[in-house]
Chain A
């Protein structure tokens, strides 16, 4: 469920980068204050462990397909939420850079979806209360399946929300959620079962390894701060875009009346936002999903002349770029061989 750069708008990507950076800084500061130098290699090796564990495929019972461990909940159980969040973030960063899983702009979204919900929501709010201090096998399985499924479902909802706010895909949020949620419920249940199986296997072999964490992680500040930051920022981004396109109500009114939308009440805030947006040209004009009634903003009137010149120009510029790149390469080769 890695989101890719191609589906994220810079506004949403930037907002999620900001939320993730805030959480990362908070977790890092707390770890540095604890000043436990044993933690440094332990976290690094466990990050690498998650990476390696994701390469081991196993059969999912009842289906023909196979799956692998995600690892977020397991890390939270072993390291506590803050350190687990950092470890997940670094695993996702390495995957983005080396395997092109997700991408740099979407990294903030991915860390938030896969790290925040599992480490700061599902682990402290579901796993710990359900598992208690020294859970038996049954309770452990229950706690980890519930927590893993909840974490993954929240993450999948995050994907749906971020994709639709980005406005790049035309897929409606409802359809997208209907596709994503059942799949991630199953993945979450399997994740919980495997997590419990790993914890049980380790406990059988070396019970002392999983001694209850020294400092009980009862601190909910990251959770509250993270949720508040994401909600506020996403809300701002949503309002920002809403100001540039007819909202659902206006749009359906326009559809129902079969004509131009009623003149939108042009508040001073709207005008200001629009002006700010024109000034910061980095924010694109997005098409309204199902924009039959709205004017297509980006590639406007489908007039033959304009589109032909767009196509010709695109091809010419693209071939110029390619030629420049290839020329540069040939030049360097010749200089190197001399």
Chain B
């Protein structure tokens, strides 16, 4: 399987998870969307040395993954694939900030190391929450939720159609790349001008396809808006999920839970 096909399988599998029936997939998409955004904002709100205060927030992705029975492997794989950029910037921290920020007995840990760990923890938490949103909701439902939350029609249509035709066009690209690779002498790499021709061909096919899709949509009565079928009603489960998320976020933001717990434990030991 080529690189592009592998990426596509990878892309589709996350959305596939949302088709299953579970407590998390049954939650209202609007609630999950707003909860995810609030969670990301709260995680980002902690400063560069506040590593310990992020600990209680790990409950949100863990609980959502449990409710949705989402397998760990695909999530961890995606985090690992996206890690290089966060690592690239975080990697400077230990060298730039050598002032000790934490001491454990005689061991002093520099602020840079703490900041490094904080950046990685934030990265895992925020991206994990985004991936879980898709894995428990599905992209089309996220789009419908966005429309219900008053996003402009043109934006939502754009998101839905981009996602829908992404698979078709990426397969088209994979076919072009494979055909070229089979004819390329000694597996020579695609040159810059070759890329122009290949992508131009892909673009022509895309434009022809857009024309056919438009005709087909008109045949089915398309008038410029994508209809939304499902009526949603907020149920008791949604209220419970929203309340629990709100409580967790407020508690993590308002109180330094790890310091309280740790203080109690070290105090009792003394």
Contact = CB atoms under 8 A, between A and B. Distances in A.
Contacts of B160: 44
Contacts of B53: 314
A279 to B, nearest CB: 12
Contact of A310 (B172, B223, B259): B259
Contact of A52 (B79, B154, B173, B196): B173
A324 B62 contact: yes
B19 interface: no
Contacts of A136: none
Contacts, number: 412
Interface in A186-232: 190, 193-194, 196-202, 205-206, 209
Q: Is the interface of A mostly helix, strand, loop or mixed?
A: helix
B123 A326 contact: no
B192 A6 contact: no
A93 B86 contact: no
Contacts of B210: 41-42, 44-46
A201 B82 contact: no
Contact of A31 (B61, B96, B154, B213): B154
Interface residues of B, number: 134
A236 interface: no
A242 interface: no
B223 to A, nearest CB: 7
Interface string B122-148: 110011011101100001001000000
Contacts of B219: none
Contacts of B48: 167-168, 170, 286-287, 298
B71 to A, nearest CB: 10
Given A5-B123, A100-B81, 15 more contacts: A4-B89, A59-B189, A89-B158, A96-B130, A100-B78, A169-B90, A194-B192, A197-B200, A198-B200, A296-B101, A309-B267, A312-B266, A314-B53, A317-B261, A325-B58
Interface of A: 2, 4-10, 13-14, 24-25, 27-29, 31-32, 35, 37-38, 40-49, 51-53, 55-61, 66, 69, 74, 78, 86-87, 89-91, 93-94, 96-101, 103-105, 163, 167-171, 190, 193-194, 196-202, 205-206, 209, 281-287, 290-292, 296-299, 302-318, 321-322, 324-326, 328-329, 332-333, 336
7 contacts: A42-B207, A47-B165, A55-B7, A97-B131, A98-B15, A297-B47, A310-B258
The 10 A-B pairs of least Cβ separation, nearest first, read: A197-B196, A44-B161, A313-B262, A325-B62, A201-B200, A314-B52, A313-B258, A47-B162, A28-B152, A309-B262
Interface of B: 3-4, 7, 11, 14-15, 22-23, 36-37, 40-53, 55-59, 61-63, 65-67, 69, 78-79, 81-82, 85-86, 89-90, 92-93, 96-97, 99-105, 108, 111-112, 114-115, 119-120, 122-123, 126-127, 129-131, 133-134, 139, 142, 152-155, 157-166, 168-170, 172-174, 176-177, 189-204, 206-207, 209-210, 213-214, 217-218, 222-224, 253-254, 257-263, 265-267
